[in-house]
A and B are shown apart, each in its own frame.
Chain A
Amino acid sequence: MEIIYTDNNATTKVADEVIEEMLPYLREFYGNPSSMYTFGDQVDKKIRQARQRVANLINADPDEIIFTSCGTESDNSAIHAAINAFPEKKHLITSNVEHPAIKNLFTYLEKKKGYEVTFVPVDKKGRLNTEILYDSMSENTALISLMWANNETGVIFPIEEVVQKANEKGILLHTDAVQAAGKIPIDVKKVGVDMLSLSGHKIHAPKGIGVLYVKKGFKFSPFFVGGHQESGRRGGTENTVSIIGLGRACELAGENIGLVNTQVRELRDYLESQLLEKIPGTSVNGEITNRLPNTLSIGFDAVEGESILLLLDREGICASSGSACTSGSLDPSHVLMAMEVPFKSAHGTIRFSLSHYNTREEMDKIVKAMAPIIEKLREMSPFWKDGKMI
């Protein structure tokens, strides 16, 4: 069965160009980039090229790029460095719709390490309540960490505006840009964030490689203490092959960003309008005019997400649901709860996240599959009768 892959906010296909770039360094050039001889040094040169390519994507300098193992490590390293830089400041700010890498770390710091954490709420459209954010900033604030774009809804936070306010008060700002990278332009020089996290596997590089951008001048303390790698900012032998792949992926992401904002956006909008038109009792979550061009979070009244996903799976369609349902806890995701999405559609929320590999034919197949799936589940649902919620 042919797979229709629309879960690109979870992970992406590794681009063929990326695999080609990596293969020689997997097969032949296995030297350690720290070695003195040419066989190692040629790998070091390739890593330098990759570092430059990553820097180009976000308009950073190459020595502001630290390679890590994943987005979560980048996030943890950033928070760790910030609280080490300002040990006397005991207040942290984030939002209540962050990725678990931030959310659970901040909760840990709050519960176990005596930090006061402000979890800034969002409104029903997923927009950040900047009033509460700005009011909570104080001299005691060590760090503000906010995602650039939300993984579930694609809603984009006003990072540039927040950075300005944070700068006025001399507060560090870290942003988790894992979902934003490659989908909207990122210019760290223009925006002025202090630290920024990226993840390779969200932009068609392999899993297991991440980036932390650290602005020049910030006194960064390493999270992984070890050798001299990454200029002493992240110990451990470099994941050479993945770093090289990520370099190529960043180059491609820069080239394709236009495509993502035209072709992919059109596909997303087409899928959205078709689903809304063909299936009654359907609603889109998040601020429609200010979200990532590839993301669609859409709720179907009176049905449950896992059932939808399993039926989609039979058609070879890959997507995500908005409800956890991974344990007895059947709560919708913390993001949908924070947005106060009504239960009637939150439990039946599906996230389709596209890439430039998707086609219009695939969107038509999804729509064709979805309509009978929702109908079948609603026939079974005690909350649906005669074409509406009861």
Chain B
Amino acid sequence: MWDYTDKVKEHFLKPRNVGELKDANAIGETGSLNCGDALKLFLKVNENERIIEVSFMTFGCASAVASSSALTEIIKGMTLDEAAKITNDDISDYLGGLPKAKMHCSVMGQSALKKAIANFRGVQILAKPGNMVCECFDVTDLEIIDAVKANGLETTDDVTDYLKAGGGCGQCLERIEEVLESVKAKG
């Protein structure tokens, strides 16, 4: 059994803001059926760029549902500029923490939010800088380096827990190992 906080369990059992928002004017989607989790985030943003309504639909495990629910509670009433500053750690903190192996659920929330904001502003999300490492989950070497440095990750499993990179087909695990080695070598 997963070691979930009471807050995670509560948000899983009684998720807030579930369902499709019919008059949403911003939508952000991330993940896929094949990946094992997916989140569709709906926002209704007013003329002052304030999020006045928000809802989600999630396919995934308990922490994916809880992270989505938490995200909607966090950003409701925020302006888009405020919301843009929300990170996966904010989502995890709101829930009293997530098991390490489930950190990617909070990352999924942040990613969907970023896409929804870009969708509202009509901005194309540009191709990410760096070289693609994990094709399954669209993770670049630069993202891995950032995550390794920011969170003190040490093993490929750690990287998979945080970014999901390597958690699909597994073909990039050696490449992740190389990136880890390069970070270690540079200190």
Q: Which residues of A contact B (CB under 8 A)?
A: 302-307, 310, 313-314, 323, 325-332, 343-344, 347, 379-383
Contact = CB atoms under 8 A, between A and B. Distances in A.
B33 to A, nearest CB: 5
B157 A327 contact: yes
Contacts of A304: 36-37, 59-61, 64
A379 B61 contact: no
Contacts of B163: 328
A24 B149 CA distance: 59
A329 B103 CA distance: 12
Interface string B33-60: 1111111100000000000000001111
Contacts of B170: 329
A381 B37 CA distance: 10
A329 B160 contact: yes
**What's the interface size class on B, roughly?**
35 or more
B62 interface: yes
A313 B13 CA distance: 12
A244 B38 CA distance: 51
Given A328-B104, A379-B19, A343 B34 contact: yes
A98 B110 CA distance: 38
9 A-B pairs with least C-beta separation: A330-B36, A328-B160, A306-B61, A329-B167, A382-B57, A328-B167, A382-B40, A327-B101, A381-B59
B106 to A, nearest CB: 12
A71 B15 CA distance: 42
A347 B35 CA distance: 9
Nearest to A332: B36
A203 B109 CA distance: 44
B29 interface: yes
B161 interface: yes
Nearest to B160: A328
17 contacts: A302-B33, A302-B59, A304-B36, A310-B62, A313-B1, A314-B13, A325-B36, A327-B157, A328-B162, A329-B166, A330-B37, A331-B36, A331-B167, A343-B33, A347-B36, A382-B40, A382-B57
